[in-house]
Amino acid sequence: MKVKVSGRHLLAMGASAIVLAGCVSSAAIVPAPREQAQPQPARTGAGAVTVPIGPPVRSSTPAPQLPADPGFRRPPPGLDDRLFQIWKAFPGKTGIAVQRIDGEWTLTQRGNELFPQQSVSKLWVALAVLDAVDNGRLRLDQNVRIGPEDLTLFHQPIAGRVQAQGSVTMTVRELIETAITQSDNTANDSLLRTVGGPDAVRRFIDKKDLGAIRFGPGERLLQAGAAGLKWQQSYSVGRSFQAARAAVPEATRKAAMDAYRADPPDGASPAAIANALTRLARGALLSPESTQYLLGVMTRTKSGPQRLKAGLPAGWTFLHKTGTGQDYKGMTVGYNDIGIATAPDGTRYAIVVLMGEASSPVPARMATMQSVSRAVAEYHGK
């Protein structure tokens, strides 16, 4: 169906605000598939656009949709301005999207540009796997063997078991739980291998028309490429990758990181991710059983407890997936959190914060994320 999304723009900001933010904002826009917005000099004008977001498919536990609720058709007055001020104050490159799942509006700041996802992309792997389960190509109780040749790098709790036992066998269900809740890179790459590799995930994204969401080549090749390295399996042991990265000539390392920042192979837009979360929550991407299962897994995410989740007051619930990229000269390239917040009355919001380049201290980054989710809760019902 077609729905109308409306929003109010701020008056043009001064040059100093543009220098500080290094970006532009947009409000109440849901991106057309694969469309990227070009930066504008300032927020000007007012208006509305009509965009397709798909039918509101109900899950087994739908939030109430009350025609008398003014927040169903339009964002709460003042929320757009609050999000803009939070976004403008962040001293780095960031994008924000907030979408009312059981409503008709979206607010974004730099919402249509591509940002590195890092481990946020584990969500698309889980979705592709569960779609294969829904279509009878895989089973949740299917066993997957993981040996030394399957280990990756960075955070991979499974590695200790593999090294101690020679190999481990886990079910698809166990791998989804480990990849999402613990953000285990080897669990995720094992799922990726089982479902058919990166192309299988890309086919799922295209089939479901998720828009401006890319999927990279897998953890090993993605991280090696961003560091100016060619992957070797020996990098999966201990801190071998970090040692090899430290030996890369500075010019090579800088060129590789600049290339990743400019055109991330795992890039996605905040607005596209918010819309994908909305469709997941509505039951429009997977079967009812797989939808409820994945949303349940995401409630058990252990990473990022002080990111978006910490900004919500008591009585709210939050299910999510985080992502954190490599550091380069004090800058983290990809510091992210995406998820679904549910108010005590059952109203749901997709919230996305992608920090493409963050040089501020980690507590400051988390405080910015908390400000976004706190604003959503504060303006809820207004």
Domain boundaries, the chain: 2-117+266-379, 138-206+215-259
Over residues 319-348, the mean pLDDT reads: 97
Residue 248 pLDDT > 90 = yes
- Range with lowest mean pLDDT among 36-50, 123-137, 152-166, 242-256: 36-50
Residue type, 129: V
Report the 10 Å Cβ neighbour count for 237: 13
Residue burial 137-155, b: 16+ Cβ < 10 Å; e: rest: ebebebebebeeebbbbbe
| Ramachandran area for residue 33 (φ above 0: left; ψ -120 to 50: alpha; else beta) | beta
pLDDT tens by residue, 281-322: 999 999 999 999 999 999 999 999 999 999 999 999 999 999
Contact 316, 380 (CB under 8 A): no
- Range with lowest mean pLDDT among 52-66, 96-110, 320-334, 343-357: 52-66
How much is the pLDDT for 68? 56
Q: Which of 308, 248, 298 is nearest to 276 (CA)?
A: 298
Q: How much of the chain, in percent, has pLDDT values that exceed 90?
A: 80
- Range with lowest mean pLDDT among 68-82, 126-140, 229-243: 68-82
Confidence at 381, pLDDT banded by 50, 70, 90 = confident
How much is the pLDDT for 37? 37
Q: Which of 208, 211, 213, 247 is nearest to 228 (CA)?
A: 247
Cα three-residue angle 369-371-373, rounded to 5 degrees: 75
pTM of the predicted model as reported, rounded to 2 decimal places: 0.83
How much is the pLDDT for 107? 98
How much is the pLDDT for 71? 79
Residue 356 pLDDT > 70 = yes
Helix, strand or coil for residue 99?
Answer: strand
Residue 60 pLDDT > 90 = no
| Superfamily covering domain 2-117+266-379 | DD-peptidase/beta-lactamase superfamily (3.40.710.10)
Which residue has tokens 């007051």?
313
Helix, strand or coil for residue 190?
Answer: helix
